[in-house]
Structure 1
Amino acid sequence: MDIRALLDECRLMIMAMMPQIMERRYRIQYKPDRSPVTEADQYIEAKLHAFLQDRLPGLTFVGEESYDFQAAEHPGYFVLLDPIDGTENFCSGLKEWGVSLGVWKDGIHQGSLLMIPELGEHLMTGDPCTNLHSRITGFSSSFNEEIADGIRDAIEYRVTGCAVYNLFNVIRGSFARFINPKGAYAWDLLPGVMLALEHGCSVRVNDADYHGQFLEPHRKYRVDIRHRYDPHPG
């Protein structure tokens, strides 16, 4: 299986679906934790699930909107998807939202894709990447006292409410660092974290150096990622 070609098919499929995605943007429900989910989240997840099921034999599929803890077994092909990361941004009419998709086989990472469709940006396994030099630290939007301390000490900071946006920008160097000290689920983080490793970033997960091991979907993880060129470590 040419995973890079498969990821590019997924990318093209999402871009082709943009009219249907935008049509469902403001059809919003709220989960028990009061976070929003739109019909667009569910639409993307259903379409990609069906597409990948046809192409990856024996697939175990874990998407944020349909996750069942009992389904998270890892032999064979395993796909992790957040169909819309930054749903609060998306359903508020902001463009800083993204799609996070990763593929594993027998526990070994095969490839990942990050997309920010309304901004026309994407990064997938095997893509070249720029090497920008930034002073900005990106912080997650879930409040934590460490974020307050970090904002006070940072030279420049941004809080955008989208892990895909944060990960994309720290990988390419538009952020010097991305910190989520409260924690997020693997579908928010893991595909982007694998791309960060691919591009030489320093990655810490739950306060320990990270080397690419699989992160279970049912747990939250704290991350601290530095771009491979960071002239502002403070």
Structure 2
Amino acid sequence: MPATDLQLLIDAALEAGKIATRYSGTTAQRWDKPNGAGPVTEADLAVNTMLEQRLPTARPGYGWLSEETEDSSDRLTRERVFIVDPIDGTRSFAEGSRTWAHSLAVADRGEVIAAVIYLPLRDLLYTAAKGQGATLNGATIRVSDIAALETAEILAAKPNMDPRHWRQGQVPVFDRVYRPSLAYRMALVGQGRFDGMLTLRPSWEWDIAAGDLLIREARGYCSDRLGHPLQFNNAHPRLNGVIAAGRHIHDTLHALLDPDSTGIHP
């Protein structure tokens, strides 16, 4: 990894925050994407325009994958690719909440090697680089090392608790909490603020790429719902859910999930 990749992402994320916070979420123009793909605002598009100009210009050999850019198979020919979500948590942004984030990552042959999750309205800058650990506002972070699931706080949306997703229909007991931005959920696990996160819904790469590295560099474990390591820059950039936590909680959740469940579909 070029030594400056992480700094490149940090600088771009800080600029993204300046752009996004010029808009008032509740008054920003908003549209609904086709086929129920969710909302987009003028702030998402403005941030995406800046990132798409700035990042590939700095690394012309890298591919590009963004929620707000029409996908191209050209990225599949590149060893390294930017994977970005200009604003993760667009609904929260549009509602005037502070729990939305910029999520930026670089993947090298399918593995994320540099990552930033930035929440400008909360002044939270999470960063990670392969082999260099993870930080929050410059301070090293670690995942929770709690071992008992029944005393754990797990970030998960309510549909994940449907009995059909668990072996013998037995839903495990833990304290379920929720935050709207998937990137922010993963960052909170990396920080150790919560003990794990779980989503059984097919997950877009741009929502989880940065969080995957952040958690792994914070000494946690991140996999799809079947326990497989996450691989990025796929032809169809969607992964089979996410389990993320310290080793004990990750392994417990994975063991309790029914591998034959088809997951949650949009």
Distance 2:164 2:239 in 1: 17
**What is the aligned partner in structure 1 of residue 197 from structure 2?**
178
Pick closer, same or farther for the CA change 1:81–1:40 going to 2, 3 Å. same
RMSD: 3.0
Q: How big is the shift at 1:59?
A: 2.8
Moved more, 130-139 or 220-229: 130-139
Pick closer, same or farther for the CA change 1:183–1:141 going to 2, 3 Å. farther
Distance 2:79 2:26 in 1: 33
Whether 1:139 and 2:142 are equivalent positions in the alignment is no
| Mapping 1:1-234, distance limit 5 Å | 1=2, 2-22=4-24, 26-34=28-36, 35-125=38-128, 126=132, 127=135, 128-130=140-142, 135-140=152-157, 145=162, 153-210=172-229, 213-216=231-234, 218-227=237-246
CA offsets 1:35-67 (integer angstroms, 9 cap, x no match): 110011111111011011221022321110113
Pick closer, same or farther for the CA change 1:107–1:182 going to 2, 3 Å. closer
* 8 Å Cα contact 2:116-2:127 kept in structure 1: yes
Q: Structure 1 regions of 5+ residues with no counterpart?
A: none
Q: How big is the shift at 1:69?
A: 4.3
Distance 2:160 2:84 in 1: 24
Distance 2:73 2:158 in 1: 29
Distance 2:233 2:240 in 1: 8
Q: How big is the shift at 1:74?
A: 4.2
**What is the aligned partner in structure 1 of residue 261 from structure 2?**
none
Q: May I ask how many residue pairs the two structures share in their alignment?
A: 233
CA offsets 1:158-185 (integer angstroms, 9 cap, x no match): 1222101110111111111100012211
Pick closer, same or farther for the CA change 1:80–1:140 going to 2, 3 Å. farther
* 8 Å Cα contact 1:62-1:79 kept in structure 2: yes
